[in-house]
Amino acid sequence: MKELKFSEYPFHQPNGKKILAKMEGFVNELKAAKTAKEADVVIKKFNKYSTNVGTDFSVIYVLYTCHTDNKKYKKAQEISDEIGPAMGEYGNQFAKILLDAPYRKELEAKYGEYLFKKYELAFKTFDPKIIPDMIEENKLVSEYDAVLGSAQIEFNGGTYNLSQMGKFATDKDRNTRKAAAIARDKWLAEHEEKLGDIYDKLVHLRDGIAKKLGYKRFTELAYDRLGRTDYNPEMVAAYRKQIFEDVVPVCQKLYKEQAKRIGIKNPQAYDYNLKFVTGNPVPAGDTKYLVEQAHKMYSALGKESKEFFEFMMRNELFDLEARAGKAPGGYCTTFAKYKAPFIFSNFNGTSGDVNVLTHEGGHAFQAYLSSGIKVPEYQSPTLESCEIHSMSMEFFAWPYAEGFVGKDADKYRYEHLADAIEFLPYGVTVDEFQHWVYDNPNATPAERSAKFRELQRKYEPHLRFDDTPALDRGDRWLLQSHIFAVPFYYIDYTLAQVCAFQFAVEMNKNHEKAWKKYVKLCKMGGKYPFVTLLNKNHLRVPFEEGNIKKVIKPLIKILKGIDTTSF
DSSP lists the bridge partners of residue 335 as: 340
- Name the residue ranges covered by the structural domains of the chain: 6-135
- The pLDDT, as a whole number, for residue 164 is 87
pLDDT digits (tens, 9 = 90+) for 150-179: 999 999 999 998 988 988 998 999 999 999
Q: Is the pLDDT reported for residue 1 higher than 80? A: no
Query: How long, in residues, is the chain?
Result: 567
User: How many degrees, rounded to 5, is the angle at CA 480 between CA 545 and CA 526?
Assistant: 55
DSSP lists the bridge partners of residue 321 as: 347
- The pLDDT, as a whole number, for residue 329 is 83
pLDDT digits (tens, 9 = 90+) for 230-252: 999 999 999 999 999 999 999 99
Q: Are residues 243 and 548 in contact, defined by beta-carbon separation less than 8 angstroms?
A: yes
- The pLDDT, as a whole number, for residue 461 is 97
The secondary structure of residue 471, as a DSSP letter, is H
- The pLDDT, as a whole number, for residue 567 is 82
**Distance separating alpha carbons of residues 219 and 236, to the nearest angstrom:** 12
**Distance separating alpha carbons of residues 500 and 127, to the nearest angstrom:** 37
Q: Is the pLDDT reported for residue 526 higher than 90? A: yes
Contacts of residue 384, Cβ cutoff 8 Å, sequence gap at least 6: 491, 492, 493, 495, 496, 530
In the chain, the amino acid numbered 168 is F
Residue scoring higher pLDDT (86 or 242): 242
Other Cβ atoms less than 10 A from the Cβ of 564: the count is 17
345 closest CA partner among 306, 271, 308, 294? 294
- The pLDDT, as a whole number, for residue 92 is 87
- The pLDDT, as a whole number, for residue 324 is 87
What does DSSP say about strands 153-155 and 158-160: parallel, antiparallel, or unpaired? antiparallel
Contacts of residue 556, Cβ cutoff 8 Å, sequence gap at least 6: 250
Q: How confident is the model at residue 149 (pLDDT cuts 50, 70, 90)?
A: confident
Secondary structure of residue 351 in the 3-state scheme: coil
Rg (CA), the chain: 23
pLDDT digits (tens, 9 = 90+) for 428-486: 999 999 999 999 999 999 999 999 999 999 999 999 999 999 999 999 999 999 999 99
* Per-chain mean pLDDT for the chain: 95
Question: 3-state DSSP helix/strand/coil percent for the chain, to nearest 5?
Answer: 70, 5, 25
pLDDT digits (tens, 9 = 90+) for 471-495: 999 999 999 999 999 999 999 999 9
The secondary structure of residue 375, as a DSSP letter, is S
- The pLDDT, as a whole number, for residue 84 is 87
- The pLDDT, as a whole number, for residue 431 is 98
- The pLDDT, as a whole number, for residue 505 is 95
Q: Is the pLDDT reported for residue 83 higher than 80? A: yes
**Distance separating alpha carbons of residues 349 and 288, to the nearest angstrom:** 12
